[in-house]
Amino acid sequence: MIQGNILTIEEVAKYLRVSERTVYDWAQKGEIPSGKIGTVWRFKQSEIEKWVNDRLSGNRLMPQFGAIQLETIISPDRIMFLDYTAKRDALLALADNIANAPQVKNRQELAAEILKREELMSTAIGRGIAIPHVRLSSVTDLVVSVGISRTDILDFQTLDDEPVRLLFMIAAAYNQHAYYLQTLSFFSARLKNQNLRSDLLRVETTHDAYSLLTEKH
């Protein structure tokens, strides 16, 4: 995040991707952890991160936060069809794809950290979906790559025993804690739509998949 433990309104606004006026209003109403030094609002980084975690846990999206603009984080060339039965192969292929984005500065680090994260805990969330994700200082801005598997990926250790077919890989800058969590929560909620999942598995081109994902609802 921003250097130092005490943040300004401007820094909090940038972190949460909202306007400075919105942060000011939240502080005035006591809706966000804050304090005044003289007439100036200040915020503790640790308290803001906890506040974000509390509000984004359990897929409870905060409508006040800056909206996820899918067009800015995915593109047709970062959607790919996969044909692997092993999750390691699928993850490496997707990591190689997302590393082509200009936001990713270290291809090897990203692949290694994605695999390390998967070893700690499966990123499969059920319904045939996995959301591998990582935050790195070598990533300059959040970016997403989508994998649509033509075959069942069998070793994701899913809670519902359903093979993974859809993967959404998120790579974010290390200082994008809030936006990163919001993006994770957004995809978790959006992909509960069975029709969307079925349609994605049936698409024939990456452009068709992109159109489905960026459709306004």
Specify the pLDDT at position 45.
85
Q: How does strand 143-153 pair with strand 164-173?
A: antiparallel
Specify the pLDDT at position 106.
97
Phi, psi of 101 (to 5 degrees): -70, 140
Specify the pLDDT at position 72.
85
Residues of each domain in the chain carrying CATH 3.40.930.10: 70-214
Specify the pLDDT at position 200.
96
Residue 140 burial (CB count, 10 A): 15
Q: Of all residues in the chain, what percent are helix, strand and coil, respectively (each to 5)?
A: 45, 20, 35
Q: Fold for 6-59, please state it.
A: Arc Repressor Mutant, subunit A (1.10.10)
Residue of 216, 209, 86 whose CA lies nearest to 156: 86
Low-confidence residues in the chain, pLDDT < 70: 1-4, 55-67, 216-217
d(CA 27, CA 196): 38
pTM above 0.85, yes or no: no
Question: Which one of 3.90.79.10, 3.30.2350.10, 3.40.930.10, 3.60.20.10 gives the CATH number of domain 70-214?
Answer: 3.40.930.10
Specify the pLDDT at position 99.
96
Specify the pLDDT at position 4.
54
